[in-house]
Structure 1
Amino acid sequence: MFKKIKTYINSLLQMFKNKMQNDELKKFTLQSFPFWISSIVAGLLAVFYSKLFHWVEQLHETINFERAWWIFIVAPLSFFIAWWLVHKFSPTASGSGIPQLIASIQFSGQKNGSSNILKLLNVKVIIVKIVSSITLLLGGGAIGREGPTIQISGAIFNTIYRFVPDFWPKINQRLMLISGGAAGLAAAFNTPLGGIVFAIEELGKTHLNAMRTHLFTAVIIAGLTSQLFLGSYLYIGTPDLPEMKGLAIVHVILTAIFSSFFGYLFSSILLKIIRWKKILKYTKQKAAWAILMGLLFATLVFFTGNDSTGSGKTVMVNLLFNENATTQWHTFPSRFFASIITYVSGGAGGIFAPSLSIGATLGDSIVNLLNIPEFKNLIIITSMIAFMTGVTHAPFTSFILVLEMTNRHTSVFSMMLAALIAISVAKILNKKSFYEQLVEDYLNSPLFTPKKEKNKLVK
């Protein structure tokens, strides 16, 4: 079936190619065509995933609000099913998805690289990623859809790359994957600049000049496709932010240091548990672990409330736009540990949005501790950027994302300062980010490389 479809598509593409006359225009158009198609498909799937994610998140809130004790049934069951889907059908669909895409980019150009990439980015991964994360969310899981959207988008770009026939002008697979990741983030958050910066800072680590046209095109098309259905929106909104002067500067600096440390702590705990889990060799042990995490999560939510569930977007918006909104003493630690418990359960789900929401609750806790309500929104925004930077070691991506989410260009310098201080603290605490360390685990995995060659891929 797959071969018949590919043969039919190849014949159409051959006809399309033969009809073009101008050689330069032909080469540019033919090289760009796979990027255009991939971006449209990625944008459409991002819209579907976003709407489904939002609906399921609201459904869980309704269930948990009406019958709080149901969490003890729904959470363990959802956590187990989410893990089982990944374990049974696509083990590389677990977790965020960003490390898988970065590993795929590093595999590109290597011997057996395409086969290794296919294990990380394929149609099965797309399906399992969506179904597993939605199942986890139904149980209240503290996850985001942004990391999964990035892997899904990368898988779409890789799948279409594999359909490109031999007679087609050569297309760089690495560039396709980088563009896929950027398009995915841009469509997920409605942050085109964030997608481009993420591609340069986290995915490509190369000169923009080498990939600018196709990268920009992918981000624009995926973003516009998403906006066509979701409209032009801000992920968070436009909160009021005070000017950064006098004592505000001191508070921003201290908050950035403090929040970056907790971002480092968050990622360190995650990494230690993920690596410790490798001692669970048998399926029954892994299943029991997923159920145990579901019960632990249910207990946490039962005593702390719905602020510990889902992506945390509602928490962020409430804190930034409701002057009277404030966190309880337990809100920050409960969101912090709820995200850890959910992630290590073994299902699919991201930590981008949860990191921002944890940062927001930490920022509000700092405001309450220091009794500085006049700087509330500034401290919350600072903490969001710094916490995320502490996890990802991607300061530019962190502050650009928050800048585009809030449209507060007048506060760009305070955001940049927060990111700069946060990355300085993060680098002192650990030279490698959470994603970098997970990527090394993938590159050295027996699933991809023979044991005798394990250490050759990581320099």
Structure 2
Amino acid sequence: MTLSPVETLVRQRKLVRLRARRSLRTGAVIAAAVAAGAAAVGFARLCDGAMALHQRWAAASPWMGPLLLVVGMPLCVWLTRRLAPAAAGSGIPQVIAAGDVGRGRDASGAKVHDDRVSMRTVLVKVALACLLLACGGSIGREGPTVQVVAAVMVFLTGWLRGGPDRRTLLVAGGAAGVAAAFNTPIAGIVFAVEELARGFDKRANTVVILAVISAGVAAYAIGGNYAYFGDMSGSAGWNAWISAPILGVVTGVAGGLFSRCLTAILVGDNPIRRWRARRPIVFAALCGVTAALAAVISGGATYGAGYERARSLLFGRFASGLDLAGGKWLATLAAAASGAPGRIFAPSLATGAGLGALFSHVAPWSVGRDAVTLGMAGYLTGVVQAPLTSAVILMEMTRDPSLVGPLLTCALVARRCSEAIAPTPLYHALARAWTRPRRRAEAAENA
């Protein structure tokens, strides 16, 4: 059928308008991702400043560090519950749960407020996470960064009609958060596939990749091109391949125990969880005391995210990892169980680094640097049960591609060992409490 000139012109105009709307949506997603990447870098700098402030306070008096934990942890929990209950914890479970709520609009098309990824929640989270780091809490900024970036993405693209749905934007924002937090773009995409989405919608490919690239460009422009732990490229030998499965067992068991204990405390059906729900501030105070004891016993190795300690181990400037591994395991569990903002990514890397360093002292064939790197990947896998993310993130952090094979081996063994102890992955076990309205109220009450 031949179209008339008028019909042809009408079709061409419709096509032009359609392409213009698509270009506008793509530009909006890119702009939102750039802004979110800048927010992630700003959050990182605030956290670094908070940890530096704690170091000055702790250096001024030996009792100041433990006292700040005893007072600061229950204070942060009290403020979280008063100001924004959805700011509690990591933020990754909230993003996973928020992604299950369609386009975030009701039957009439009106936008539905979701406190799990609201700007109020993330502003409170940023402030209180920095406060807890200033008090010496063993928390990481990476999980909160995922929630912050996802919230910024949803907030800045909420006016769009058509195009990527809300779940896609949340997954893209979470991926961009990991990429910007660690300067690891590939790991951000892998994290979206393996952990946030549990599968991948082909239609989300472009949005996720655009978000990761845009946030990465913003982070690069502000923070520069850096390796998280420094450039450690080298050549892994046979000793790394032998160490990988052994460390996988050790770190997988340790990470699985951590995951099982934290899940039981936060969402389990047991007397400890029920008592915590009735007395959240008292429980947080006990967590602060536990973290303070861990700090005293370890000589202060458990304060903060643990980045400097892990980096020192990688470069062979720390004698033994026993104090760091044991103290950090306990201090991180205490901070995570308290219900305060901030969670476990960076502290898990520090704990794994301690386990790797300890292994290098016991196994005469192992190389310290390789063992520490494998320990970090294995323990992180044991905690979150995301082996590809753990292996790729360590490869990008250290820029050592020669360890890819041993890293994957260690991570896969660690996941198997962790699954035997904690069958449900940590973030997804915690996300269940944030999925339905009643459960969300219970999670906020228990946080």
**Would the TM-score normalized by the shorter structure come out above 0.5?**
yes
Offset of residue 157 of structure 1: 1.6
Give runs of aligned pairs for residues 342-353 of structure 1, distance below 5 A: 342-353=335-346
What does the per-residue CA deviation read over 1:360-416, in whole Å, with 9 as the maximum and x for residues that have no partner? 0011111122344x5111111111111111111111111111111011012211112
- Counterpart for residue 152 of structure 1: 148
2:236 aligned counterpart, secondary structure: coil
C-alpha change, 1:115 and 1:390, in structure 2 (3 Å) is farther
Distance 2:434 2:46 in 1: 29
Distance 1:347 1:175 in 2: 28
- Counterpart for residue 437 of structure 1: 429
Offset of residue 270 of structure 1: 1.2
Offset of residue 240 of structure 1: 5.8
C-alpha change, 1:136 and 1:70, in structure 2 (3 Å) is same
Distance 2:119 2:369 in 1: 41
Q: Is the 8 A contact 2:294 2:328 kept in 1?
A: no
2:63 aligned counterpart, secondary structure: helix
1:80 matched to 2:80? The reply is no
Distance 1:117 1:382 in 2: 42
1:402 matched to 2:394? The reply is yes
- Counterpart for residue 124 of structure 1: 120
Q: Kindly provide the amino acid, as one letter, of the partner of residue 376 in structure 1.
A: G
Q: Is the 8 A contact 2:321 2:357 kept in 1?
A: no
- Alignment: residue pair count: 424
Offset of residue 305 of structure 1: 1.9
Q: Kindly provide the amino acid, as one letter, of the partner of residue 225 in structure 1.
A: A
Distance 1:410 1:109 in 2: 43
C-alpha change, 1:281 and 1:202, in structure 2 (3 Å) is closer
- Counterpart for residue 93 of structure 1: 87
Aligned identity (percent) is 27
C-alpha change, 1:376 and 1:153, in structure 2 (3 Å) is same
Q: Is the 8 A contact 1:49 1:130 kept in 2?
A: yes
1:181 matched to 2:177? The reply is no
Question: Which residue, 386, 393, 400 being the options, matches 2:385?
Answer: 393
**TM-score, normalised by the number of residues in structure 2:** 0.89
- Counterpart for residue 135 of structure 1: 131
Q: Where in structure 1 are there 5+ consecutive unaligned residues?
A: 1-18, 451-459
Q: Is the 8 A contact 1:386 1:422 kept in 2?
A: yes
Question: Which residue, 284, 306, 310 being the options, matches 1:316?
Answer: 310
Q: Kindly provide the amino acid, as one letter, of the partner of residue 437 in structure 1.
A: A
1:446 matched to 2:438? The reply is yes
Distance 2:274 2:130 in 1: 25
Q: Is the 8 A contact 2:189 2:209 kept in 1?
A: yes
1:65 aligned counterpart, secondary structure: helix
The runs of 4+ residues in structure 1 deviating greater than 6 Å are 113-117
Q: Is the 8 A contact 1:116 1:448 kept in 2?
A: no
Q: Kindly provide the amino acid, as one letter, of the partner of residue 325 in structure 1.
A: F
C-alpha change, 1:252 and 1:139, in structure 2 (3 Å) is same
Distance 1:90 1:31 in 2: 31
Offset of residue 77 of structure 1: 2.3
- Counterpart for residue 35 of structure 1: 29
Q: Kindly provide the amino acid, as one letter, of the partner of residue 410 in structure 2.
A: A
Q: Kindly provide the amino acid, as one letter, of the partner of residue 413 in structure 1.
A: G
Q: Where in structure 2 are there 5+ consecutive unaligned residues?
A: 1-12, 443-447
Q: Kindly provide the amino acid, as one letter, of the partner of residue 147 in structure 2.
A: Q
- Counterpart for residue 226 of structure 1: 219
1:213 matched to 2:213? The reply is no
Question: Which residue, 29, 35, 57 being the options, matches 2:51?
Answer: 57
What does the per-residue CA deviation read over 1:235-278, in whole Å, with 9 as the maximum and x for residues that have no partner? 11123655232x54222211111111111011111112223334
Q: Is the 8 A contact 2:388 2:411 kept in 1?
A: yes
Q: Kindly provide the amino acid, as one letter, of the partner of residue 229 in structure 1.
A: I
C-alpha change, 1:169 and 1:271, in structure 2 (3 Å) is closer
1:193 aligned counterpart, secondary structure: helix
Distance 2:343 2:251 in 1: 20
Q: Kindly provide the amino acid, as one letter, of the partner of residue 440 in structure 1.
A: R
1:239 aligned counterpart, secondary structure: coil
**TM-score, normalised by the number of residues in structure 1:** 0.86
What does the per-residue CA deviation read over 1:332-374, in whole Å, with 9 as the maximum and x for residues that have no partner? 11111010111112210021111111100011111122344x5
Distance 1:222 1:320 in 2: 28
Q: CA RMSD in A?
A: 2.4
Q: Kindly provide the amino acid, as one letter, of the partner of residue 395 in structure 1.
A: P
Offset of residue 330 of structure 1: 2.7
Distance 1:432 1:398 in 2: 17
1:190 matched to 2:190? The reply is no
